[in-house]
């Protein structure tokens, strides 16, 4: 490329009222050139979504001072495909096409993604034209040629207590030659529901995009909204948000560590992690009145101000689980038969996580040293010292170990936050009638979660949520190649991508 | 070495006390079962969980039923991997249009007599997802529902109360 990502955006005037990062209106040629620059490894794609008559793309780059949003008008309903240069954009573009009807010109994959032909309309956020119902099973999986190959279709209803999605395995005996995912089964139309909706309803919807990340999503939504309004939450509320976010991380990681070990037929660790997770959730329930802390982070602050006694409940819980967790870790370390299953299984290479900008344990287990709490620092993490564990092996074991270190780090962070908890109010007035646009990224337990919104008076004109899973699901396909079919549950659990967070 | 294993051998149970069947749930199940063909389940029900559109919050709490604290197997409740092995379908989420056929097929694959439990505000009504082009809504718009367990998500103890009532009723009349 002749022009670098940095020069493509240099000297432009950002749209007024978009905070905290700039948003630029660009033309189709620049859009296309940015796609090529991303493909050349100059930056990371953070999101790509539709809007009325527009497409937006969020990206970051070491040469840019902050992430940026670029916007392209699509008067004729098409935009140059970023996916044709940069594959991580492909599914995002398919989703834009399904929801808005805007076509990505030159896109390598024009199949529908979220639209399974069951809505009775096409382009629900665009033309809303009536459409005949299609056979839900009809989908052109990529053709596979070769001797001795057979296919194993799995889902959408799976064997465990998990979310629905379809996995099409092509195997040669026990060895998986290819996995192709088909998602979108739990698409609930969240982009449409949060378009032109009052702020309270939008907040409740965002909290229910992916139940396991409810705190992280509400955190991002609140920050985006506060940025758009040009206000900030009081210091005490900010610290309490951090406490909740870390409790959520600990609870999820405990669940995952147990579940991964269980999928390797080591039920003892699952049993212990189950008890530990339960202790965390019971404490959350006692302190915040909800086990998952849903709706407890609100625009302007938090919904509950814990008393000193309630904070003591959290500290006592941490004291209780810390030694037990150390035993669990020791058990994991001392069980070679377990590591025999987790080590060298489901490997994701470092170049792939960089290219896809995969966050969370998926990225950090393959050497990508990125954590939104540090790299896109936000309060209360900006003046909190904490460890970001990074491993290089990229296998199931490394993804477990990232979680183990993060549980330990989060316990430490909660103690620090409670120790230095400021006094004062926990909520500022976040209502009003101002317009504005805001964006925020928080580090959910599974990786960076982006919320972008545009306010129109007291309403949310448009809100988009991009879960970390968007950039992790494709890597699961890559990780499983040449593994045995029986190791798929193990790999899948070690990723633990969200179906609902992805399907929206 | 092996501290966990040793501790497990000598530890006292962490299981909570069994909940009493909640009255409202009992009444609802009573109505649901009236006039149906009943079979003696020997105080045991096998459950198949189906996420028909949930945000996964409900799944987290249903999962908790299997942990050592709630330990639902002591009530004769166990989760199966296939609808063909189950008596109860536990369905979450507002049913999405993309999941409707899968839910219908799972229901059809479940042998009679069968019960359907709708778990969560979304499955009982439509939750926050009302008015979406992509969502059909409550589970009973797609398959008949015998028991509703409300909550967003319901706590595991609330799930247990509902299920205990279901077992009691199914066996008492069987
Ligand atoms: S009831 Fe609540 S927790 Fe359950 S699926 Fe609906 S939004 Fe999620």
Mean pLDDT of A223-233: 93
- Is the domain covering A190-502 a CATH 1.10.645.10 domain? yes
- Probe site for chain A from B10, B13, B51 (most A CB atoms < 10 A): B51
CB interface of A with B, residues 413-472, below 8 Å: none
CB-defined site of ligand 1, < 6 Å: A 208, 211; B 54-55, 57-58, 92-93, 120-122, 127, 152-153
| Distance of CA A158 from the midpoint of ligand 1 (Å) | 19
Confidence of residue B34 (pLDDT cuts 50, 70, 90): very low
The minimal CB distance from A188 to the residues B7, B8, B134 is found for: B134
Instruction: Measure CA A343 to chain center.
Output: 25
- Under 8 Å CB pairs connecting chains A and B tally to 156
Confidence of residue A96 (pLDDT cuts 50, 70, 90): very high
Residues 6+ apart with CB under 8 A from A273: A254, A255, A257, A258, A259, A261, A328
| Cα-based distances in Å from A454 to A102, A295, A434, B104, B147 | 20, 21, 11, 39, 41
Residue whose CA is at the smallest distance from ligand 1 atom 5:
B54
How many helices (DSSP H) and strands (DSSP E) are in chain A? 17, 16
Q: Is the pLDDT of residue A496 over 80?
A: yes
CB contact under 8 A, B56 and A210: yes
Over residues A178-225, the pLDDT tens digits come to 999 999 999 999 999 999 999 999 999 999 999 999 999 999 999 999
State yes or no: cis peptide before B132, omega within 30 of 0.
no
- Of all residues in chain A, the percent with pLDDT exceeding 90 is 91
CATH class, domain A5-130, is alpha beta
CB contact under 8 A, A187 and B134: yes
Over residues A407-420, the pLDDT tens digits come to 999 999 999 999 99
Confidence of residue A145 (pLDDT cuts 50, 70, 90): confident
Q: Report how far residue A203's alpha carbon sits from residue A72's, in angstroms, rounded to the nearest whole number.
A: 27
pLDDT at B25: 58
Write down the mean pLDDT value for chain A: 94
Q: What is the ipTM of this complex?
A: 0.94
Q: Is the pLDDT of residue B40 over 50?
A: no
Q: Report how far residue A479's alpha carbon sits from residue A387's, in angstroms, rounded to the nearest whole number.
A: 26
A134 touches chain B (CB under 8 A): no
Higher-pLDDT residue of B114 and A430 is B114
Convert A133-161 into a string of H (helix), E (strand) and C (coil): CCCCCCCCCCCCCCCCEEEEEECCCCCCC
pLDDT at A290: 97
pLDDT at A457: 84
Higher-pLDDT residue of B37 and A275 is A275
Residue spans of the domains in chain A: they are: 5-130, 150-182, 190-502
Confidence of residue A338 (pLDDT cuts 50, 70, 90): very high
Confidence of residue A381 (pLDDT cuts 50, 70, 90): very high
CB contact under 8 A, A186 and B67: no
Residues 6+ apart with CB under 8 A from A27: A72
Q: Is the pLDDT of residue B37 over 50?
A: no
Q: Is the pLDDT of residue A109 over 90?
A: yes
Q: Report how far residue A218's alpha carbon sits from residue B139's, in angstroms, rounded to the nearest whole number.
A: 27
């Amino acid at each position: 490329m002749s022009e670098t990502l940095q020069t493509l955006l240099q000297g432009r005037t950002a749209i007024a009222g978009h905070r905290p990062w700039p948003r630029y209106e660009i033309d189709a040629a620049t859009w296309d050139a940015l796609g090529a620059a991303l493909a050349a490894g100059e930056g990371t794609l953070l999101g790509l979504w539709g809007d009325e008559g527009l497409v937006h793309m969020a990206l970051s780059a070491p040469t840019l001072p902050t992430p940026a949003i670029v916007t392209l008008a699509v008067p004729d309903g098409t935009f140059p495909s970023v996916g044709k240069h940069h594959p991580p954009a492909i599914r995002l573009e398919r989703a834009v096409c399904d929801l808005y009807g805007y076509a990505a010109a030159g896109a390598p994959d024009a199949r529908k993604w979220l639209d399974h032909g069951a809505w009775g309309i096409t382009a629900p956020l665009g033309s809303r034209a009536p459409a005949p119902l299609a056979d839900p099973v009809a989908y052109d999986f990529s053709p596979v040629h070769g001797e001795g190959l057979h296919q194993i279709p799995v889902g959408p209803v799976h064997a465990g207590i998990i979310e629905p999605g379809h996995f099409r395995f092509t195997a040669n005996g026990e060895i998986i030659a290819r996995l192709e995912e088909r998602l979108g089964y739990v698409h609930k139309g969240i982009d449409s529901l949060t378009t032109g909706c009052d702020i309270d309803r939008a907040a409740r919807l965002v909290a229910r995009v992916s139940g396991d990340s409810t705190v992280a999503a509400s955190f991002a939504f609140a920050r985006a909204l506060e940025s758009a309004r040009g206000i900030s939450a009081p210091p005490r509320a900010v610290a309490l948000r951090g406490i909740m976010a870390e409790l959520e991380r600990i609870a999820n990681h405990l669940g995952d560590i147990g579940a991964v070990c269980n999928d390797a037929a080591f039920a003892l660790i699952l049993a212990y992690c189950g008890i530990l997770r339960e202790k965390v959730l019971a404490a959350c329930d006692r302190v915040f009145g909800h086990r998952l802390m849903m709706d407890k982070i609100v625009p302007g602050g938090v919904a509950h101000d814990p008393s000193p006694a309630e904070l003591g409940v959290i500290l006592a819980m941490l004291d209780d689980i810390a030694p037990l967790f150390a035993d669990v870790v020791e058990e994991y370390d001392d069980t070679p038969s377990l590591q025999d299953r987790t080590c060298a299984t489901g490997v994701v290479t470092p170049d792939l996580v960089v290219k896809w900008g995969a966050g969370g344990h998926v990225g950090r287990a393959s050497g990508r040293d990125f954590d939104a709490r540090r790299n896109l620092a936000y309060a209360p993490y900006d003046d909190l010292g904490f460890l970001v564990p990074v491993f290089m092996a990229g296998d199931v074991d490394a993804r477990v170990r990232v979680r183990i270190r993060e549980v330990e780090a989060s316990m430490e962070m909660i103690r620090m936050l409670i120790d230095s908890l400021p006094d004062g109010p926990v909520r500022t007035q976040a209502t009003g009638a101002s317009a504005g646009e805001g964006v925020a990224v928080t580090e959910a337990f599974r990786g960076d979660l982006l919320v972008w919104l545009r306010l129109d008076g007291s309403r949310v004109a448009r809100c988009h949520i991009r879960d970390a899973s968007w950039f992790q699901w494709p890597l699961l396909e890559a990780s499983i190649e040449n593994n045995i079919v029986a190791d798929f549950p193990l790999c899948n659990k070690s990723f633990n991508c969200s179906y609902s967070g992805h399907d929206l | 070495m092996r501290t966990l294993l040793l501790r497990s051998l000598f530890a006292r149970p962490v299981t909570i006390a069994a909940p009493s069947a909640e009255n409202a749930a009992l009444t609802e199940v009573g109505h649901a079962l009236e006039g149906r063909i009943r079979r003696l389940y020997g105080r045991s029900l096998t459950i198949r969980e189906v996420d028909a559109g949930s945000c996964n919050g409900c799944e987290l709490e249903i999962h908790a039923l299997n942990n050592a604290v709630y330990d639902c197997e002591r009530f004769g409740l166990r989760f199966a991997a296939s609808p063909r092995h189950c008596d109860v379908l536990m369905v979450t989420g507002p049913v999405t249009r993309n999941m409707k056929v899968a839910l219908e097929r799972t229901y059809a694959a479940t042998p009679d007599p069968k019960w359907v439990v709708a778990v969560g505000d979304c499955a009982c009504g439509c939750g926050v997802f009302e008015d979406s082009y992509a969502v059909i809504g409550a589970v009973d718009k797609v398959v008949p529902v015998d028991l509703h367990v409300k909550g967003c998500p319901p706590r595991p103890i609330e799930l247990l109360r509902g299920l205990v009532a279901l077992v009691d009723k199914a066996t008492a009349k069987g």
